[in-house]
Chains A and B, each alone.
Chain A
């Protein structure tokens, strides 16, 4: 089983829609979690950390479910500029990256 698994998508949504996707991880002892954004083979950039109680950053909401070992990302009121690949990152003693979920927002 891969350490971090993501639905590759693509999720193709209209502007203004809400899109959500999950990421599962295999190591129950993992301590910290992040969502990164990667545009068209450019460098990954930190989008947000994921806290146990869940957290929001503007239109983005991240949740952690330790019992089922997954984290989620929800994007509200999608913008064209949200089109990207979203990487789930799980940290036990090192960062493990998922292969990414591609989101395309259309006008």
Chain B
């Protein structure tokens, strides 16, 4: 039982490149979330999903896209990487919108 798995763990991108951050869960949770955390700051919600085929914007969605074709997977796509997107990205899952969330161990992304 791996819980929430994020890949890659680290990545360096050049400005304007694109990439997909992967998140997979084996907890059979309907709710999945993507957050970013900048140094010294709290987590900010980028996108979330309440089930396969359903996604919605969070607090800071600009520059990102998501899809949720299966319960298990919730990839986050950066189309045109910008230095402002340098951050640590966490994926999380939960059983409901008032339940605690379980986090993956993060993807550290630098855009130069």
Contact = CB atoms under 8 A, between A and B. Distances in A.
Contacts of B35: 97
A62 interface: no
Interface residue tally on A, bucketed by range: 20 to 34
A94 B45 contact: yes
B97 A93 contact: yes
A34 to B, nearest CB: 5
A60 B97 CA distance: 25
A39 B46 CA distance: 22
Given A94-B48, A94-B58, A44 B98 contact: no
Contacts of A44: 43, 90, 103
B110 interface: no
Nearest to A36: B100
B12 interface: no
A42 B105 contact: yes
A94 B104 contact: no
A72 interface: no
B101 interface: yes
A65 to B, nearest CB: 19
* In the complex, the 7 A-B pairs of residues with the closest C-beta atoms, listed nearest first: A43-B103, A99-B42, A97-B42, A97-B43, A46-B100, A32-B98, A43-B105
Interface of B: 33, 35, 37, 40-43, 45, 48, 58, 88, 90, 97-98, 100-106
Interface of A: 4, 8, 31-32, 34, 41-46, 49, 87, 89, 91, 93-95, 97-100
28 contacts: A4-B42, A8-B40, A34-B100, A41-B106, A42-B105, A42-B106, A43-B90, A43-B103, A43-B105, A43-B106, A44-B43, A44-B90, A44-B103, A45-B103, A46-B100, A87-B43, A91-B97, A91-B98, A94-B45, A94-B48, A94-B97, A95-B33, A95-B45, A95-B101, A97-B35, A98-B42, A99-B40, A99-B42
